[in-house]
Structure 1
Amino acid sequence: MEAAVANNKFVSLTLFLIFAFLLNLSSASSHHRPSPTEFIRTSCRSTRYPSVCEKSLSSYAPSVRHSPRQLAHAALSVSADRARAASSFVGRLSSPPAGRSPRSGRGGGAIRDCLDTLADSVDRLRRSDREMRRMGRRGTRRFEWHLGNVQTWVSAALTDETTCLDSLSEDSAAGAGARAQIRNRILDVARVTSNALALVNHLQGRN
C-alpha cells in the first residue's frame, strides 16, 4: 500500500516537473520572439537608409507583424504614395503663374523633364504594388515570376528618381529655390524607394 502511494507521488511529481518545463519553454519562446516594431527595426538594418526605413514603416507594425512580404509591400506603398505627392508638388512648381503663357513656368526644362520621369516612377511603383498582391505562395514559379517583375520595376523607378536629381543638378536654368525644394522631395522618395527595393530583394530565396 505504501509502495503504491509512493509510486503515485512519484508519478505526480514527474508530471508536475514536465508541465513546469513545458510552461517555461513556451514562456521563453514567447519572450524571445520580437515584437512587430522590433521586427521592422531589425529588417530595416539591411537597407541603405535604416532610420528612414524604420520611421516610414513603424506605423505599419500591426499589419506587418512578422511577415517579410507584408513589410516589403508596406514599403512599396510608402514609396508609391511619396512619389505621387512629389509628382504633384513638381507639377505645381512647373505650372506657369496665373495669366502667363505655358512657356513661362517657373521650372524650366530640367523641372519639366523631372516631372516626366517622376510620372514613370509613380506608374512603376503602382504596378509593383499591384504585382505584390498576385505573387502567390513562396517557392512556386508564380511567386518567382511576380517577384522578378517587382524587382525590375522598383529598380527602374529608382533610376527615374536618380535621373530627375541628376537633371536638376546639371541645369542651372531652373530657379535655385525651386530646384532645392524639388531636390529635397525627390531625395526622400529615392531613399524610401531604395529601402523598398532592398526589402523586396530580401524575399529572394527565403523559405
Structure 2
Amino acid sequence: MSICVQTISAATTDKGCTKTYKKFIKSACNSTTYPKICYGALSPNASAIKTDPYKLCSIALSVTLKATYKAYLSIDALSKMRGLSRSEKEIIGDCAETTDDAIYQLQKSLKALARLKGSNHKADEISDLNTWVSAVLTDEYTCTDDFEGQKVRKDVKNTINKRMLYLAKLTSNCLALFKLLD
C-alpha cells in the first residue's frame, strides 16, 4: 500500500494520491461480480475513500441507498400513471413496498457499518451486514418476480426491470466488498 504525503507541489501530490486511491478502488472492484459498475459508482469518491476498506464499503452502501431511493421515487411516479389495470397497481404497490424495505435495510446496514470499525464482535456484525444486504437483494428480485404470469404494460415493466437490475448489481457489489472487512 502506498502512502500519499505532502510535497512542495500540491497539484502533483493530489494527482498521485488520486491515482493511488483509484487503483485501490479498481483492485477492490475487481473482486466484485460487476467491476465496471462498481468502479464507475465509487471512483468519483476516491478522495473520500482513499485506501480505507471501511470508507469504501460505506460509500458503496450510500451509493446503493441513494439509487434505491431514486428507484422508489420512480416506482411511486409509476403508481400515479393513468389507465393502470388493477393488477398493475398491485404489482407497482408491492414493488414500492419491497423497495421501501430495501431502503430501511440499507439504512440499518450503514449504521451497523459505522459501528463496525471499533467493534469487539466484528464477525457477528459483518454477518448481520451480509444478512441485511442479502435481504435487499431479495427485495429487488421480488419486485420483478411479480411480473411472472401477469399482464403488465411494457413501459412499466421495462422501467421497473431496468431500475431493479441496476440496484441488484450495486447490492451484489456491496456484498463482495464486505469481504475486505474481514
Pairing of 1:176-195 with structure 2 (within 5 A): 176-195=154-173
Alignment partner, residue 121 of structure 1:
102
One-letter amino acid of the counterpart of residue 30, structure 2: R
State yes or no: 1:44 paired with 2:29. Answer: yes
Give the Cα–Cα distance (whole angstroms) in 2 for the partners of residues 107 and 35 of structure 1: 48
The correspondence for 2:54, drawn from 43, 47, 69, is 69
- 1:171 CA drift (Å): 4.1
The correspondence for 2:123, drawn from 132, 144, 152, is 144
Give the Cα–Cα distance (whole angstroms) in 2 for the partners of residues 184 and 84 of structure 1: 14
Give the Cα–Cα distance (whole angstroms) in 1 for the partners of residues 139 and 85 of structure 2: 25
> Do the aligned partners of 1:113 and 1:164 also contact (CA within 8 Å) in 2?
yes
The correspondence for 1:197, drawn from 154, 169, 175, is 175
The total of aligned residue pairs comes to 165
One-letter amino acid of the counterpart of residue 156, structure 1: A
Q: Which runs of 5+ in 2 are unaligned?
A: 1-15
Using structure 1 for the length normalisation, give the TM-score. Answer: 0.73
Give the Cα–Cα distance (whole angstroms) in 2 for the partners of residues 94 and 70 of structure 1: 36
Q: Which runs of 4+ in 1 moved over 4 A?
A: 103-106
Pairing of 1:15-34 with structure 2 (within 5 A): none
In our comparison, the structure showing a higher alpha carbon Rg is: 1
Q: Which runs of 5+ in 1 are unaligned?
A: 1-30
Using structure 2 for the length normalisation, give the TM-score. Answer: 0.83
Q: CA RMSD in A?
A: 2.1
Give the Cα–Cα distance (whole angstroms) in 2 for the partners of residues 184 and 171 of structure 1: 19
- 1:160 CA drift (Å): 0.7
